Structure 1
Amino acid sequence: MQRRDLMIGLIVITVWGLNFIAIKLGLQETPPFLLGALRFLLACIPAIFFLPKPPVSWSWLIALGLSINVGQFAFLFLGMKVGMPAGLASLVLQSQAFFTLFVAVTWIGERWQWNHLVGLILSACGMAVIGLQQGGTMTLAGFGLTLAAAACWGTGNVIMRRATQGVPPFSMLSLVVWAGAVAIIPLALLSWFLEGYDAWLIAFRSPTLTTIGSLVYLAFLATLVGYGFWGKLLSRYPAALVSPLALLVPLVGMSSSALFLGESLSAMQSVGALLVMLGLAVHVLGQRWSGKKPVTEIATEKVSS
């Protein structure tokens, strides 16, 4: 990978790692479902009018939007609202890699490889250590909701792979925007019925700079800029070369949360985090160490800039 493209990749990873701080700050003044609806509203309108619909069916597009956008972010935002620290959220959410594998094995018959099993065992042990270490700022409810968000993301990954089978290359950004638009109404309805009219009134009548800054970051930097540049990297290089960079997201998330939010991990949570990171590394890189290309990355290479 050329140095300039590597720098672009690292900038995207940094943007995505800092994304969890933006979520935490936004949730201080805006309820989770409304924050999600506003994020996708700003990210997708008016961008959707300038990006062609990706060549996937409407049924797949709706399924993708409901799983990877509504499900993932509804659970994630709610989990962070009820006690999941931003740094740990950035780590636990990466368990989507294993949920992706579970769904792929049961739905499309993908086979387990040695690195999948070893990585799963290591990460599961790490998650158990983290989950059992309640107290401080982390709650069991927040932890469980973040795992549910990871499960929705993993399901969405497999839906994306099924949706893109047999279609010509397309822009990742167009898929992100069109699937994101699907999430606006469901999240708005969840907010209206569960969070109430008063939440909307407060959000729109007296928005603060913190709320505005959070939404700008989530909608434009984390979504449009992040996925736009990530798609360009995937169009220039094999997914096997690009995807390992995503392993750095939790490192950025945890270190930046410690720096800007004052979050800290207990000794046991640190051990759990190391086990999870080691498990993810084995899962993603294991077959490369043995000279084989991971099956789970083949479909990703259909996405162009």
Structure 2
Amino acid sequence: MNSGRQLLTAGVTALAPAIWGTTYLVTTEWLPPDRPLLAATVRALPAGLILLTFTRTLPTGIWLWRALVLGTLNIGAFNFLLFVAAYRLPGGIAGMITSAQPMFVLVLAALLIGDRIRYAHVAACVLGAGGVVLLVSRGAAALDLVGVAAALAGAACMATGITLTKLWGRPDGVGILSFTAWQLIAGGLVLLPFTLSLEGLPSTISGTNIIGFGYLMSLGAVISYAIWFRGIEKLPALAVSVLALGSPIVATLLGYLFLHQTLSILQMVGVLVIIGAALLAQPRPVHPRGPHDSSGSGNPAVLELNRRGQ
């Protein structure tokens, strides 16, 4: 993939975390209060079932348990932890804690996929985390320990989900919408018994709640996850994971626009630093030097190793 197409793919993939960045505002303003399990379940399960009615493709064989694992990590556990953090922490603080996620991916991708860790990768992780810290620097804030633990566990779930999705790919002949439907349904089914037993259903649902759930099911689930899984296929694991740091950028900007939160010069510097980290994490094109190159860079096997190391 040439550098122009690579950047275009990265730009499209970045739309998914941008959409997820709106989750904090939607959760606090449009959903029933104190119901993170309900929010996560309604976001995933109905969206997956609706999508499945159009794709009509079910997982078989080894993909029965793989879909369950990926759905739990990418959808079920991650969304539940995301909503817990969103309810108990300011959106920017939750985003700051989950910025540890690319560092988890860096290690997991090296262990499971064999991706080489380069200095640029480490620098991208550090810059990304530093940019998020600058982005949410609004002075002292009381931190809820449950919210902090949920945000950190959510980062670990996302990192593991990204790495395993990259490692396993998807079955031949199965479209990205089917692949997305499997994971949404698996994640929703994992959440459903906990939702019913621990939270139950609200006695009333307002029109605003319906709009909020509808938004999370459509843009926040079907569209965003289809974009995200396509990006994982096309880009290295770390390159995708750093793009997820776009979520706190959107959360911060929406807080400024709609919740009357502050937006300082330091925070704008944080936005630029995060964008720089995302660009630094993107793979560099490998240019073969021809059959007479003694370094072996023209060898297809070496080219593949170089590509995996980006």
**TM-score, structure 2 as length reference:** 0.72
Counterpart contact for 2:96–2:132, Cα < 8 Å: no
Which residue does 2:38 correspond to in 1? 34
Q: 1:288 aligns with which of 272, 276, 284?
A: 284
Pair 263,172 (structure 1): closer, same or farther in 2 beyond 3 Å: farther
Deviation at 1:87, TM superposition (A): 4.2
Deviation at 1:97, TM superposition (A): 2.8
Counterpart contact for 2:96–2:136, Cα < 8 Å: no
Q: 2:211 aligns with which of 210, 213, 217?
A: 213
CA distance in 2, matches of 1:266, 1:137: 20
Which residue does 1:45 correspond to in 2? 49
Q: Within 5 Å, give how 1:78-97 maps onto structure 2.
A: 78-83=84-89, 85-90=90-95, 92-97=97-102
Which residue does 2:168 correspond to in 1? 163
CA distance in 2, matches of 1:28, 1:296: 45
CA distance in 1, matches of 2:258, 2:143: 17
Could you report, residue by residue, the CA deviation over 1:203-256 in whole angstroms, capped at 9, with x for unpaired residues? 2x3101222111100001222233446678899xx548x968766444333212
Deviation at 1:135, TM superposition (A): 3.8
Q: Within 5 Å, give how 1:69-108 maps onto structure 2.
A: 69-83=75-89, 85-90=90-95, 92-108=97-113
Could you report, residue by residue, the CA deviation over 1:138-159 in whole angstroms, capped at 9, with x for unpaired residues? 5454344222212101101111
Counterpart contact for 2:112–2:167, Cα < 8 Å: no
Pair 296,26 (structure 1): closer, same or farther in 2 beyond 3 Å: farther
Opposite residue 78 of structure 1, the aligned amino acid is V
Q: 1:61 aligns with which of 52, 67, 71?
A: 67
Q: Within 5 Å, give how 1:195-210 maps onto structure 2.
A: 195=199, 197=200, 200=201, 203=202, 205-210=203-208
Structure with greater proportional helix content: 1
Deviation at 1:281, TM superposition (A): 3.9
Pair 266,135 (structure 1): closer, same or farther in 2 beyond 3 Å: farther
Percent identical pairs in the alignment equals 23
Pair 132,189 (structure 1): closer, same or farther in 2 beyond 3 Å: farther
Opposite residue 288 of structure 1, the aligned amino acid is R
CA distance in 1, matches of 2:136, 2:149: 8
Aligned partner of residue 50 in structure 1, secondary structure: helix
Which residue does 1:111 correspond to in 2? 116
Q: Which runs of 5+ in 1 are unaligned?
A: 298-305
Pair 44,194 (structure 1): closer, same or farther in 2 beyond 3 Å: same
CA distance in 2, matches of 1:146, 1:228: 23
CA distance in 1, matches of 2:208, 2:101: 29
Deviation at 1:37, TM superposition (A): 1.0
Aligned partner of residue 284 in structure 2, secondary structure: helix
Aligned partner of residue 260 in structure 2, secondary structure: coil
Which residue does 1:303 correspond to in 2? none
Deviation at 1:277, TM superposition (A): 5.1
CA distance in 1, matches of 2:78, 2:245: 19
Counterpart contact for 1:60–1:159, Cα < 8 Å: no
Q: Which runs of 5+ in 2 are unaligned?
A: 288-302
CA RMSD for the aligned pairs?
4.1
Deviation at 1:17, TM superposition (A): 3.5
Pair 184,12 (structure 1): closer, same or farther in 2 beyond 3 Å: closer
Which residue does 2:261 correspond to in 1? 263
CA distance in 2, matches of 1:8, 1:108: 24
Aligned partner of residue 262 in structure 2, secondary structure: coil
